[in-house]
Structure 1
Amino acid sequence: MTNTLDAILYPVTDIDAAKAQFTTLLGVEPAIDQPYYVHFETAAGLAVGLVPNGADRGMTGATPFWSVDDIQAHVKSLVEAGATVTEEPHDVGGGKQVAIVKDPQGNIIGLAQS
């Protein structure tokens, strides 16, 4: 079941400038601040991530990640509905699994299972 937005990741070319913008926008300091990734936690519980050189990794814009209870089943269902897998489910730390698919219109859909 998908019912909440887990995170939004933004590709950035200037991590320091993006970090300053999102600190101002969200009103919080980064929870994770590394050269390879900056992560904010909003008051509403939404994670906002900044991915340096994300465009080099195929990111064409912001990528929303939806919380799912069974990532394998959701990827399979979306593929059956016409999506193509651009990132197979994989662990990103702490047991969290993520995957990315592209829908038939070219939109990017991220999935996250905690």
Structure 2
Amino acid sequence: MDDPRVYLAAERTFLAWVRTSLSLMGFGFLIARFNLLLHEQIRPPSHQTGRIATISPWVGFAMIVFGVAVCVVALLRHRDYIRRLEQGIANPASSIATPVVVAAILALVGLAMAVTILTL
């Protein structure tokens, strides 16, 4: 493929996934530190503070690891796409599985955080 626009579009897509992974990692850090905000601002009853303090770091850690995994998957997808372009495949097929998995996991984490906030 000689058209540079195709390569540039693939590069923009890759960079969008990298930005997404960085956002997930930042969101994970925020979740991990969420219990500090609760201790300083809201001061919930002690039995609930302990529950949030135990869950928050682990959910945050999981989101950071998920962000790293998204970055690695984006790199592998980009590399495969570029290889197929170099092999002469005009418009290589892309799987929709990765965006669906990312959206589903984010929806579950968001729902879990909403329930946690409501149960304080």
**TM-score per shorter chain, which class?**
under 0.3
Larger radius of gyration: 2
Task: Please give the TM-score of this superposition, normalised by the length of structure 1.
Answer: 0.24
Task: Please give the TM-score of this superposition, normalised by the length of structure 2.
Answer: 0.23
Answer 1 or 2: higher relative contact order, Cα 8 Å, separation at least 6: 2
Could you say which structure has the higher helix fraction?
A: 2
Could you say which structure has the higher strand fraction?
A: 1
